[in-house]
Amino acid sequence: MKLEEYIESIFGCLERIENKINGLSIPLPEGNSPTVNNEKGESVLNEVRNGHETFRKLLVRMFEGLAAIKNIGRGFIQKVMADRAQDGPYTGLENFCQRMYGTDLNKRALENLIKCGACDCFGLYRSQLLQIYEAVMDTVAAGKRKNVDGQIGFFDLGGSEDTPPVPEVHVPNIPELPADERMKLERETTGLYLSGHPMDAYREKLRGANVVSIGAILESFSEHTDEFQDEQVVNIAGIVQNVKMKTTKNQSMMAYVTLEDDTGSMELLTFSNALGQYGSLLYETSAVVISGRISVRDDKDPQMVVNRVVKLSEFDAKSEARQQSAQSLAGKTLYLKIAHTGQKGSDKIVPILNMFPGAVKTVVYYADTGARMVGRCMPEEIMLSELRGLLGEKNVVLK
């Protein structure tokens, strides 16, 4: 069975699904959006069980989309499938409620179906559906009661007086929920982001930045590659999913923070110093860039000890790179050796140093006279390359 057929087994009306498990990305192909009118059934699940383990875990979870939605059970899924097979696709929210009347569909269940996107195919915004679903269910219930009362009156009472018609439900003219709100509701009801990922808004900002994916780190250790090592300092970016505070043995506070990007999630160990400095940035749904040290202990998944936190909205890749470069150069000194004052190109050294102001101690030594000049600069790679071209590789030392 093709991947598209597997994906169709998800119960939800979405334009695109992109979920990553252990670094595996599975986008929904154009034109194959799953809806209440095309999810497959148990046969798909059986097919998936025979497939690749990674696909199986992902797709079984996707197939059980309805069962994974709060207040929805597998029995309801089967009733939807049987009803659709008999009477065809659902034409709208009211039609769906009429045909599901008397089943396990209640207001809370329908609300969650709307929130996760399972009713998008009815041609209305989720914002509109959330405004009218209760009225629609009340209208359907009133209509059913009217029909029952009419039958009783005809057969047992010799007819009945006319009852007022059931009013139609007005659909408000309101805009759709913002994308981040839709994703939040999807995760709230299914545990997954379905129509996108909050990190989508930051992809361009992170392009070319020195930021690695969480999935790459997890895969490196699970596959025992040498791409990442214990104690290595790296940058990751993601959305805070959970924050759990804890008092340590020495009575200081620390936090266990779960950070998720679109490739996986990682637990961050935020000790008292970092917590005091950056704790205000670490709250659920906040988008952040974390600089920290990978920590691998026992049989646990890799964790990260937090060194620094930056709001993703304020993250600037270039300035961040300069700051991290400055931190890595702390305590180092740049030594430049000039053979004699008349050496070709020696007159360019000071002007070059002045073009890269910084805090790194710089010593210029004239070998013929023993004279020294001391100053400060920021030894960026382009500057070091120029100096090596003028003085020679061995005469430019940063240590």
* Interval 316-347: pLDDT, tens: 765 665 566 666 676 789 999 998 878 888 88
Judge whether 268 and 304 are in contact, CB under 8 Å.
yes
- Using CB atoms within 10 Å of the CB of residue 86, give its burial: 0 to 12 exposed, 13 to 18 middle, 19+ buried: exposed
Q: Which of 30-44, 163-177, 298-312, 321-335 holds the top average pLDDT?
A: 298-312
Judge whether 23 and 44 are in contact, CB under 8 Å.
no
Using CA atoms, how far apart are residues 321 and 327, in angstroms rounded to an integer? 10
Using CA atoms, how far apart are residues 170 and 135, in angstroms rounded to an integer? 9
pLDDT at residue number 302: 94
Task: Give the range among 69-78, 239-248, 249-258, 389-398 with minimum mean pLDDT.
Answer: 69-78
Judge whether 232 and 216 are in contact, CB under 8 Å.
no
Mean pLDDT in residue range 55-60: 46
- How many CA atoms within 13 Å lie on the side-chain side of 296? 14
* Interval 67-123: pLDDT, tens: 567 778 878 888 888 898 899 999 999 999 999 998 889 999 999 999 988 898 898
The pTM of the full predicted model, rounded to 2 decimals, is: 0.62
* 3-state SS class at 345: coil
Annotate 255-275 with b (16+ C-beta within 10 A) or e (fewer). Answer: bebbbbbbbbbbbbbbeeebb
pLDDT at residue number 39: 55
Using CA atoms, how far apart are residues 64 and 68, in angstroms rounded to an integer? 6
Q: Is the pLDDT of residue 262 over 60?
A: yes
Q: Is the pLDDT of residue 32 over 60?
A: no
pLDDT higher for 130 or 41?
130
pLDDT at residue number 38: 54
Residue 249: pLDDT band by 50, 70, 90 thresholds?
confident
Question: What does the block give as tokens for 57?
Answer: 């875990």
Using CA atoms, how far apart are residues 282 and 191, in angstroms rounded to an integer? 20
pLDDT at residue number 41: 38
pLDDT at residue number 363: 92
Q: Which of 374, 381, 394, 275 is nearest to 328 (CA)?
A: 381
Mean pLDDT in residue range 361-389: 88
pLDDT higher for 8 or 363?
363
Q: Could you list the beta-strand ranges (E) of the chain.
A: 18-21, 24-27, 233-247, 253-260, 265-270, 287-295, 303-311, 333-338, 360-366, 372-377, 396-398
